[in-house]
Amino acid sequence: MNVKSLVERALFYLSVPKCVSCKSRLNFTDKVFCPECSVKFKENIQRNCSRCSKILSECTCTTEYLRHHKINSVIKVYRYVRRPDTEPQNKLIYSLKQDGRADVLELSASLLVRSLSASVKDINECVITAVPRRRRAKLEFGYDHAAALAKLIAKKTGAEYVPTLKSLSKRPQKSLHRDLRIKNVKFALLDTPDLKGRRVILIDDVITSGASVSAAADLIRTLQPKSIIAAALAVAYNDELTPLAYTEF
């Protein structure tokens, strides 16, 4: 074993990494999940869309609410099941939001790149941007997870990353009912980047009501892009097991 491998292994064990789902200690060869939770995670993400029958990672179905905001394609990896909240796919999103772990970011980006590559042609010619995090949340957790995800996706695909928006929202969306979410979400343009005629991929971690991604898309559309594709690690469903279409609002 060379010196670099020894240093990497020592740093790994000094950090005491844990499974994001069950919190058991990981072995050096494990990434994000322990072996048991990894199996459950892989089983849970192999579900089909009730509309097009494709597995969700190859599905581009949207909702009436998002279509009303001219978002005709939604790229996703798996279902965010509202209850129970202990599923490993949900835990991956919570860790992405809160922990700043490189292995979590790498897995999330790789999964979303795979879904994007299955549905978006010439992705390297697209502009990648993100639904920005609230300022207070960035201060609390130390970074903007959606921006970090968008940057890594751009790097992996050869696309251009362009930060476009900043959040003016005061309250977290998760605690709000649908109508209050729509009123709460507010964004502003960071600058006036040249997006005219470009295809834009708008990255978020999870789409629940669609309020955030729709408000972001509405503002980006003032820059006259050719199209806007929403992409998220997960989309929310009301059901727990039956693969119904995700929540309409």
Q: Per the domain annotation, does 12 fall within a domain?
A: no
* Residues 211, 173 contacting (CB under 8 angstroms): yes
Q: How many CB atoms lie within 10 A of CB 122?
A: 8
Task: Look at the chain and report how many structural domains it folds into.
Answer: 1
- 3-state SS assignment for residue 227: strand
- Which comes out higher in pLDDT, residue 48 or 181? 48
- Which comes out higher in pLDDT, residue 173 or 145? 145
Q: Per the domain annotation, does 82 fall within a domain?
A: yes
| pLDDT tens-digit series, residues 150-173 | 999 999 999 999 999 999 887 666
Q: Per the domain annotation, does 173 fall within a domain?
A: yes
Residue 188 in this model has a pLDDT that exceeds 50? yes
- Which comes out higher in pLDDT, residue 173 or 72? 72
d(CA 88, CA 33): 8
Q: What is the mean pLDDT of residues 175-194?
A: 75
CATH of the domain at 191: 3.40.50.2020
Q: How many CB atoms lie within 10 A of CB 24?
A: 14
Q: Per the domain annotation, does 181 fall within a domain?
A: yes
d(CA 6, CA 244): 48
* Residues 186, 218 contacting (CB under 8 angstroms): no
Q: Per the domain annotation, does 179 fall within a domain?
A: yes
Alpha helices for the chain (secondary structure H): 3-14, 35-44, 64-68, 88-98, 102-119, 135-141, 145-157, 178-184, 211-220
* Structural domain boundaries, residue 23: 17-237
Does residue 84 have a cis bond before it (omega within 30 degrees)?
yes
Q: Per the domain annotation, does 246 fall within a domain?
A: no
Q: What is the pLDDT of residue 8?
A: 45
Q: Per the domain annotation, does 11 fall within a domain?
A: no
Residue 240 in this model has a pLDDT that exceeds 60? no
